Structure 1
């Protein structure tokens, strides 16, 4: 299994006494040259007066953007702890131990506009950069990362099942091959809510639900190795309360899980989780 996650927008800085990032120690050393290029370009643009505009963030985040200038010397911590937010809270990635932690190190890749893709234990500093940004001297990041990610992750996904919890912005940087030698079974995770017999796509709660699924796939005794095994694993969550809404106290339960074939050979299958 290869489990693909998006980064979180919010990031928790490592303790001040933590050492800086070592690019050569990150997973997938074939990405090192591109990481250096993007890191240097990000530092340069973050020192500009129009940095927040170029990076597409609110002026209120100017302090976080200013941090980008000194990322090479900033304290770095495990990616599983730096990335925070709804999905990561639900997955409990930073709290994994034993076999589940070993499985996560081997199977989880977190996509990033700055690093390309990292493993949960890779030590990185907190930063502010989306894959949807076009950096001066680099260009649109998704396109800039494509060649290196294809070389690094293509063999990693070969003849395996890829469970994709990324948004479209990050999926644009790399998609597994679903045909030909070494083809992967590629599943995207879609979360819908059923109310009055009608189903609609949800956003915030979808992140939480994908996190619950990710944590379940990492903690269960057997690692799924095919699309049908991923479907069976997801169905183990049916009947479980997935979340409780803070404002209303209402609960949402996973009531159905389906797997839909791809619309064309190069498209993913869709693993749909229905909440009610």
Structure 2
């Protein structure tokens, strides 16, 4: 099983890891792609006004440009600790045991606009780049889609895709992948279901925390639904067609 998460715009500063080592990241076949984006982002950081436009920064966010300037020399920390925000608060990774973290490293992937898919404990610096950012001479979706999708789709049991559609487009899985796209919804008193915005991230974080705690190893979408029934996570049993043609089910919260 492999769970695929989106990243977060917000990230912790600092870290006690050595400078970025591209050779140490998961999916080593993506090294050259990562290096190209890294070089483009550092080059962009030399021009403050261009960075503001490309990264959609407010005037109180100019420190993000400094982060990007220092990408090759800054301290690193595990990706699961680097990202912050509602989804990662829901994970509560700071409370995980060493065994939890080891399981997550094998089974949880984060789709980064800068690095492509990375494993939970991959050591990365703080940075600013989103799926819809515009780098000079480099279109992120075209740059990442085929290679990231192929890397993610290697046989590994069920792929549980919790990415937003923007990040899913950076590594589409394809209709033939053993994958399920999870959409979070709420159910009104009359049975009407509607998509959640803010709280869908919290639900995804808690779902992944439970998958890690239970050491879940799932082979197909129906196994995820059965696991949910046993662990207090209610999934629909009706499948639709989700992004890229993969199966889609709803997580009802």
Q: Does TM-score exceed 0.5, indicating one fold?
A: yes
- Stretches of structure 1 that go unaligned for 5 or more consecutive residues are 239-253
Structure 2 distance, partners of 1:189, 1:82, is 24
166, 169, 193: which is aligned to 2:166?
169
Q: What is the Cα deviation at residue 237 of structure 1?
A: 4.1
Contact map agreement 1:88 1:211 (CA 8 A) in 2: yes
In the other structure, the counterpart of 1:243 is none
The 5 A counterparts of 1:116-265 are 116-138=116-138, 140-155=139-154, 158=155, 160-179=157-176, 184-197=177-190, 198-238=192-232, 256-263=234-241
Structure 2 distance, partners of 1:18, 1:136, is 30
In the other structure, the counterpart of 1:74 is 74
Q: What is the Cα deviation at residue 230 of structure 1?
A: 0.8
**Larger deviation, residues 43-52 vs 201-210:** 43-52
Correspondence 1:272 to 2:244 = no
More strand by share: 1
Contact map agreement 2:79 2:122 (CA 8 A) in 1: yes
Per the alignment, do residues 23 and 189 of structure 1 end up closer, same or farther by CA in structure 2, a change over 3 Å counting?
same
Deviations for 1:201-259, whole angstroms, at most 9, x for unmatched residues?
A: 11110000011111111111442222111111222343xxxxxxxxxxxxxxx6x4213
In the other structure, the counterpart of 1:31 is 30
In the other structure, the counterpart of 1:104 is 104
Contact map agreement 1:259 1:269 (CA 8 A) in 2: no
Runs of 4+ in structure 1 deviating by more than 4 angstroms, as ranges, are none
Deviations for 1:148-205, whole angstroms, at most 9, x for unmatched residues?
A: 21342232xx2621101100111001122333xxxx3321111112233232211110
Partner of 2:245: helix, strand, or coil?
coil
Contact map agreement 2:131 2:140 (CA 8 A) in 1: yes
Deviations for 1:252-272, whole angstroms, at most 9, x for unmatched residues?
A: xx6x42133233895222221
Structure with greater Cα Rg: 1
Q: What is the Cα deviation at residue 12 of structure 1?
A: 0.3
TM-score w.r.t. structure 2 length? Answer: 0.91
Deviations for 1:15-38, whole angstroms, at most 9, x for unmatched residues?
A: 3x5421111111111111111111
The 5 A counterparts of 1:75-90 are 75-90=75-90
TM-score w.r.t. structure 1 length? Answer: 0.84
Per the alignment, do residues 268 and 48 of structure 1 end up closer, same or farther by CA in structure 2, a change over 3 Å counting?
same
**Larger deviation, residues 113-122 vs 85-94:** 85-94
More helix by share: 2
Partner of 1:190: helix, strand, or coil?
strand
Q: What is the Cα deviation at residue 93 of structure 1?
A: 3.1
Partner of 2:14: helix, strand, or coil?
coil
Computed over aligned residues only, the root mean square deviation of the Cα atoms, in angstroms, reads: 2.1
Q: Which of 1 and 2 has higher RCO (CA within 8 Å, sep 6+)? A: 2
Structure 2 distance, partners of 1:260, 1:175, is 22
